[in-house]
Amino acid sequence: MKVGSHIESIGVKLPVKKVTSLSITENMKVVPPIKLELISGIKERNFCSGTEDAITLAVDAALDCLKYSSLVASDIEMIIYCGISKLDSELTYYYEPAISLLVKQSIGSEGALSFDVSNACAGMITGVHIANTYIESGIVSNCMVVSGEYISSTSKNAVLNMLTPTSLELASLTVGDAGTAIILESTTSETGFEVLDIKTLGQYSKLCTAKLSKKYPGAQMFTQMQKLHSISIDEAPQYVDKCLTEKGLKYSDIDVVIPHQTAKRAILSGTLKFREYFGYSPKEIVYNLEHNGNTASTTHFLALYGLLKEKKLKSDDRILLLALASGLVLGVVVFKPLGLIEKYG
């Protein structure tokens, strides 16, 4: 029988500090003033403070994940860290050691293979793809995929830099910090992922770039928002259609879509584009931006965790995670939350 993988458990860690959109923009020198909550749909988001950072977010999310798992830390055979951020609480960038190594040491998974990957906001979807391949090949029987996104320095630095609403740093004002972790476990292909695909359109890589700032601690991000969104929603429907068709599925088979959480208007216009293309809209398009903002690579699993906690899913719901990330990266993951409902509901 062919082996696949499924999501065995999910964990989340959010920083304690809440920051409103109003508090971000009220002291900016931008003319005219930016109505951030109105244009983004984001009322508040979490920012790291004190000793919180990418590492603590990843470790705490991993521990939360284990709390819901039938596995213990010593059972974990592989750990993949997938965050964009590798910043500690002093905004020092960790090139070495790998964050995955720090996670496995902190949670007690000393025997696990570990490595880091990074693929912008599609990082965790990329990690799932890699982990599934290792499991299918029989190299490991389980894998923890984890990310800690401490990216709020891009927002703080944008506040200092921006002079006009058309600044390339506008998208930086939407970000929030978060950590998520999932454990994938081997299963029969019939109960595992139905679709798991990822695609990069490298010709658009310059539309969103981020780097460590030369002026301030932390990072800066530069995004051509309208162009990136336009290309993404033009490319995504036919890509999703192709991925589903290859696995004998249709978009009308999907019950819940969790898109990358960027801005409310972007999600609504993308939803309309998909409805026009497929002639159908799933019963729920998930939107959790209001209190979390754009949490980069953690966004899909933060949303999924919320749905499970709020008892909004059924075990036979077919869920589609849609990655739309800088790169330009498109990704599709389709599965049913078999075995998860009981753990969180």
- Average per-residue pLDDT for the chain: 95
Regarding beta strands 142-149 and 78-81, do their DSSP bridges make them parallel or antiparallel, or are they unpaired?
parallel
pLDDT value at residue 21: 96
Give the tens place of pLDDT for each residue, 126-174.
999 999 999 999 999 999 999 999 999 999 999 999 999 999 999 999 9
pLDDT value at residue 300: 98
Q: 286-296: buried (b, 16+ CB within 10 Å) or exposed (e) per residue?
A: bebbbebbbbb
Which helix (H) or strand (E) element contains residue 103? helix 99-107
Give the tens place of pLDDT for each residue, 26-39.
989 887 889 999 99
Q: How far apart are the first and last CA of the chain?
A: 31
Give the tens place of pLDDT for each residue, 41-81.
999 999 999 999 999 999 999 999 999 999 999 999 999 99
Asked if residues 4 and 31 have their Cβ atoms less than 8 Å apart, the reply is no
Three-state secondary structure call for residue 57: helix
Which residue would you say has higher pLDDT here, 94 or 200? 200
> pTM of the prediction?
0.96
Give the tens place of pLDDT for each residue, 182-226.
999 999 867 899 999 999 999 999 999 999 999 999 999 999 999
Adjacent-strand bridge partners of 324: 330
All domains of the chain, ordered by start, with CATH? 3-188 (3.40.47.10), 195-344 (3.40.47.10)
Long-range contacts of 246-251 (CB under 8 A, 24+ apart): 246/195, 247/194, 247/195, 247/334, 249/194, 249/195, 249/334, 251/278, 251/280, 251/282
> Comparing C-alpha atoms, which of 268, 259, 242 is closest to residue 303?
259
257 vs 273: CA distance, rounded Å: 14
241 vs 237: CA distance, rounded Å: 6
pLDDT value at residue 160: 94
Asked if residues 216 and 225 have their Cβ atoms less than 8 Å apart, the reply is no
